[in-house]
Amino acid sequence: MNSESKPILKASDISDKLREEIFQITQQAISSNELERDMASTIKKQLDTQFGPTWHVIVGKNFGSYVTHEKGYFLYFYIGPLAFLVFKTA
Protein backbone atom coordinates (compact mmCIF):
# COMPACT_ATOMS: atom_id res chain seq x y z
CA MET A 1 0.00 0.00 0.00
CA ASN A 2 1.16 3.52 -0.74
CA SER A 3 1.84 5.48 2.44
CA GLU A 4 1.70 8.67 0.38
CA SER A 5 -2.06 8.34 -0.12
CA LYS A 6 -3.89 11.30 1.33
CA PRO A 7 -5.90 10.57 4.50
CA ILE A 8 -9.67 10.80 4.09
CA LEU A 9 -11.30 12.01 7.31
CA LYS A 10 -14.55 10.29 8.32
CA ALA A 11 -15.08 11.47 11.92
CA SER A 12 -13.05 13.55 14.33
CA ASP A 13 -13.15 14.94 17.85
CA ILE A 14 -9.51 16.01 17.98
CA SER A 15 -7.42 19.14 17.46
CA ASP A 16 -6.14 19.91 13.97
CA LYS A 17 -2.53 19.77 15.18
CA LEU A 18 -2.89 16.35 16.81
CA ARG A 19 -4.82 15.03 13.81
CA GLU A 20 -1.96 15.98 11.48
CA GLU A 21 0.59 14.34 13.81
CA ILE A 22 -1.47 11.14 13.88
CA PHE A 23 -1.68 11.18 10.07
CA GLN A 24 2.14 11.42 9.90
CA ILE A 25 2.64 8.64 12.46
CA THR A 26 0.18 6.47 10.54
CA GLN A 27 1.90 7.03 7.20
CA GLN A 28 5.23 6.05 8.77
CA ALA A 29 3.63 2.90 10.21
CA ILE A 30 2.24 1.97 6.79
CA SER A 31 5.72 2.38 5.27
CA SER A 32 7.42 0.21 7.87
CA ASN A 33 4.83 -2.58 8.35
CA GLU A 34 2.92 -4.96 6.08
CA LEU A 35 0.43 -6.44 8.55
CA GLU A 36 -2.49 -4.43 9.88
CA ARG A 37 -1.88 -5.58 13.47
CA ASP A 38 1.75 -4.40 13.23
CA MET A 39 0.61 -1.02 11.91
CA ALA A 40 -1.81 -0.71 14.83
CA SER A 41 0.88 -1.68 17.34
CA THR A 42 3.39 0.78 15.89
CA ILE A 43 0.87 3.64 15.93
CA LYS A 44 -0.34 2.86 19.48
CA LYS A 45 3.17 2.67 20.92
CA GLN A 46 4.17 5.95 19.26
CA LEU A 47 1.05 7.74 20.50
CA ASP A 48 1.50 6.42 24.06
CA THR A 49 5.11 7.61 24.01
CA GLN A 50 4.46 11.05 22.51
CA PHE A 51 1.10 11.91 24.06
CA GLY A 52 0.78 9.68 27.12
CA PRO A 53 -1.38 6.60 27.64
CA THR A 54 -3.83 5.13 26.95
CA TRP A 55 -4.37 5.07 23.18
CA HIS A 56 -6.25 2.42 21.19
CA VAL A 57 -5.78 1.78 17.47
CA ILE A 58 -7.86 -0.40 15.16
CA VAL A 59 -6.75 -0.94 11.56
CA GLY A 60 -8.58 -2.87 8.88
CA LYS A 61 -10.67 -3.04 5.75
CA ASN A 62 -13.86 -4.21 7.42
CA PHE A 63 -14.79 -3.76 11.07
CA GLY A 64 -17.54 -2.41 13.27
CA SER A 65 -16.96 -0.55 16.49
CA TYR A 66 -18.70 1.11 19.38
CA VAL A 67 -16.27 2.81 21.75
CA THR A 68 -16.11 5.30 24.57
CA HIS A 69 -13.28 7.80 24.33
CA GLU A 70 -11.81 10.72 26.19
CA LYS A 71 -13.35 13.99 24.97
CA GLY A 72 -11.17 15.53 22.27
CA TYR A 73 -9.32 12.32 21.41
CA PHE A 74 -11.17 10.43 18.66
CA LEU A 75 -10.17 10.06 15.01
CA TYR A 76 -11.55 7.85 12.23
CA PHE A 77 -10.03 8.02 8.76
CA TYR A 78 -8.96 6.08 5.69
CA ILE A 79 -5.63 5.88 3.91
CA GLY A 80 -6.05 3.91 0.72
CA PRO A 81 -8.21 0.84 1.40
CA LEU A 82 -7.48 0.77 5.14
CA ALA A 83 -9.58 2.34 7.86
CA PHE A 84 -7.93 3.65 11.04
CA LEU A 85 -9.83 4.18 14.27
CA VAL A 86 -7.68 5.96 16.85
CA PHE A 87 -8.88 7.05 20.27
CA LYS A 88 -7.68 7.70 23.80
CA THR A 89 -9.23 6.59 27.08
CA ALA A 90 -8.58 7.90 30.56
CATH number at residue 40: 3.30.740.10
Is 55 a domain residue? Answer: yes
Given a cut of 90, whether residue 2 has pLDDT beyond it is no
Given a cut of 90, whether residue 90 has pLDDT beyond it is no
- What average pLDDT does range 6-18 have in this prediction? 97
* Percent composition of the chain: helix, strand, coil (DSSP 3-state, to 5): 35, 30, 35
Q: Kindly list the distances between the CA atom of residue 51 and the CA atoms of 8, 29, 47, in Å, as whole numbers in the listed order.
A: 23, 17, 5
d(CA 26, CA 30): 6
Is 1 a domain residue? Answer: no
Q: At 5, which amino acid appears?
A: S
Residue 5, SS3?
coil
Domain that includes residue 66, residue range = 9-89
Residues 25-41 pLDDT 10s? 999 999 999 999 999 99
Confidence label for 3 from pLDDT (cuts 50, 70 and 90): low
Q: What is the pLDDT of residue 32?
A: 98
Residues 51-79 pLDDT 10s? 999 999 999 999 999 999 999 999 999 99
Number of domains observed in the structure of the chain: 1
For residues 57 and 36, the answer to whether their CB atoms sit within 8 Å is no
Q: What is the pLDDT of residue 88?
A: 98
